Each structure stands twice: as structure tokens, then as C-alpha cells.
A and B are shown apart, each in its own frame.
Chain A
Amino acid sequence: KNQVEQSPQSLIILEGKNCTLQCNYTVSPFSNLRWYKQDTGRGPVSLTIMTFSENTKSNGRYTATLDADTKQSSLHITASQLSDSASYICVVTNTGFQKLVFGTGTRLLVSP
């Protein structure tokens, strides 16, 4: 069964600290892996997209890694800010057309 599992479910960190969110998937065949940020009351916004051949991609203070062999990804947030408080969703795409498999997200709270 195609699944995406994220950990932890929720996380509280102090402003300025770093954190890493995890994503494991069983989606096959694999096309790409995406990380989205979803602020409360808003739709998901894309942070990074990685294809099979990419093992790291950065977007400002966000760095995503992908290990396609172990089917694991991580999202590292550096020097966290209060505005980083949100849910972070890992999404894996099947090859073929438009099949997105969503994780349940990690809810991050950055505390002052």
C-alpha cells in the first residue's frame, strides 16, 4: 500500500534553534518527493521538490534530503523563526500522472 509516514507528529523548539523532520514512504513507483508548509487556515505552499536523482535541495533556511534507496527524506530548518510555526507535509508522487500521496504532517511550534 502506498503510504507516507512523518515523524514526529508535533514538535516545539525555541526560536533560533535548528530542527529536523522525518518522512518515510512506501510509494512505488517513485517520481518525486515534495515538502510543503501549511500555515493555520491556509493551503499548502511548496518548499522543495526532489526527483529520484537529487539527494538534497535547499530553499533558504529549509534543506531537504532524499535517500531513495531507504525511501527516507528529511527536512532541516536552520535558525528557526516564529514564522516557521506551521505544519510541514511530506508528499510523494507516483510515476504516471498526478498521483500525490500525502503524509499527515508534522506540526511545528517555534517558541520565543
Chain B
Amino acid sequence: NAGVTQTPKFQVLKTGQSMTLQCAQDMNHEYMSWYRQDPGMGLRLIHYSVGAGITDQGEVPNGYNVSRSTTEDFPLRLLSAAPSQTSVYFCASSYLDREYYGYTFGSGTRLTVV
């Protein structure tokens, strides 16, 4: 059982380039989300999805796109990379466990934009 798999683990981009961060889960969780983690700040929600075909914006969505064509995959696209998007990105999937949602996080993608 792989859980949540993120690729790549590391990436360096030039300003203006685009790329897609991949996220896949094999737990059949309906809910998936993307967070970014910056020094001195808590994780912040970028986009989330409550099921295939349904996505919505989180706290910091600007400059990012998502789609959810299958339950398993939730890619995050950077449209035109900027240095401000240098961060560590985490994908999470979650499930309803009695009265709250349990989260499983991927191991992260460290992105540097130069």
C-alpha cells in the first residue's frame, strides 16, 4: 500500500516555465488537497477536490491550476513559475473516520524557481 505518492521530489525551474506536480493515492479517498509549506509559516491550502470532477480554491490559489479526472490522481500545475512559488508542496488525501477526517500526506516536492 503506497499511500500518497508525489513526484518529482525535487525540481528547479526558471521563471516563466510551467510544470506539473504529480500526486497519486491508492486508498480510494474521495478528498484530496494541495498545500505549500514555507519557512516560518504553517501549511497553507492551495486547492482541493471533494471527488472526481470537482475542485475548488483554497487559501492561496493564484498561479496554480488543478484538475481531478480520476479518484486516484490530483495534479497541480504551475502556469508560469515565479520565485514566490519556491516552496515545499504537499499533497494529501483524506477520509471520514467517524466524526473527523483523517489525512495522509505525501512526502513532498521541493520546488525552487530561479
- The chain A residues found within 8 Å of chain B, CB to CB, are 4, 31-32, 41-46, 49, 51, 89, 91, 93, 97-98, 100-105
Contact B48 A98 (CB under 8 A): yes
CA distance A98 to B94 in the complex (A): 9
Q: Which of B12-20, B62-70, B71-79, B104-112 faces chain A?
A: B104-112
Interface residues of B (CB under 8 A from A): 4, 31, 33, 40-45, 48, 50, 90, 92, 94, 99-103, 105-108
Q: Could you tell me if B108 and A46 are in contact, using CB atoms closer than 8 angstroms?
A: no
- Whether A41 contacts B41 by the Cβ 8 Å rule is no
Q: Are B48 and A102 in contact (CB under 8 A)?
A: no
Query: How many CB-defined contacts (below 8 Å) exist between A and B?
Result: 49
- Is A46 a contact of B103 with CB atoms below 8 Å? yes
CB pair B33 A98 closer than 8 Å: yes
Q: Please, which residue of chain B has its CB at the minimum distance from the CB of A102?
A: B42
Q: Is the CB of B31 within 8 A of A98?
A: yes
Residue with the highest number of chain A CB atoms closer than 10 Å, among B43, B90, B100, B107: B43
A101 near B105: Cβ-Cβ < 8 Å: no
